[in-house]
Amino acid sequence: MNTAVDRWKLTVVPDARAMSEAAADIVAETVAAKPDAVISVPTGSTPLGMFDVLAQRVSRGAVDLSRIQLFCLDEYVGVSPDDPNSLTGWLQDALIDRVGIPSGHVHALPATADDLSAATEAYEHALAALGGLDLALLGLGPNGHIAYNEPGSPVDSRTRVVDLTPESIAQAAAYWEGEVSIPHTAVTIGVGTLLEAKRIVLLVSGDAKAEMLRRVLADPMSADVPASWLRTAGARLHVIADEDAASRLGSTRK
């Protein structure tokens, strides 16, 4: 089922597997049209099915991701890609190595830079030099964050250091290995940067995200729910949700 509200598009699919297939289709379409497309993908459990589908398609020659430019969305401050708790390192194992994206095409956030302000500005310049994001694939955080743009993030925010909320820190604990302190800060691509993408796809799965998705799509846009800013992208925004995640949308789905 497809619904256009305020020009953005909502697709509700039966389950997480169908969501993953639909998202992989969009990646394939993007790369077919532009083999060196500039793309971002989320971390966490939501995109894992899509990663599996893409790996399968690459293995049988149905899609080629070797020329894309991949920009990472977020990383913990002070954590390098070779750290076992790195989001970039996780993405390396979950997607990059499996689909053959060359290391020179992977743009990790400068989370260990001495001058984070200058380094994040340089990251923005590197993205702009490639024409910005052709496709921004995003997940929805339990508190409404996208990338690590936490509640309070303004619509025009850029790549920067952010303080993580207690909720995000607790969520990160499920992925954090070893007896080390859970980071309280991260570097993230900003909302304003994401909103400049030529195409934005928000992936949402599971009943646990249902109320937040309702707030994202039905309540007034607000910095309290950063993902709600995505609606300003209009027709460039495509939300793909499974039935459980869409269960509280009500008239928004009609």
SS3 label, residue 197:
coil
Neighbours of 31 (CB within 10 A): 21
Burial of residue 174 (CB within 10 Å: 0-12, 13-18, 19+) is exposed
- CA–CA separation, 198 vs 13, rounded Å? 23
Let me know: does 178 contact 86? Beta carbons within 8 Å.
no
- CA–CA separation, 39 vs 135, rounded Å? 5
Q: What is the C-alpha radius of gyration for the chain, rounded to an integer number of angstroms? A: 17
CA distances from 247 to 127, 142, 146 (A): 36, 16, 21
- Residue positions annotated with a catalytic role: 74, 143, 145, 150
Both tokens assigned to 72: 């990472």
| Pairing of β 185-188 and β 160-163 | antiparallel
- CA–CA separation, 73 vs 106, rounded Å? 11
Any alpha helices (H) in the chain, and if so which ranges?
Answer: 16-33, 48-59, 87-91, 97-99, 116-129, 166-173, 191-195, 210-218
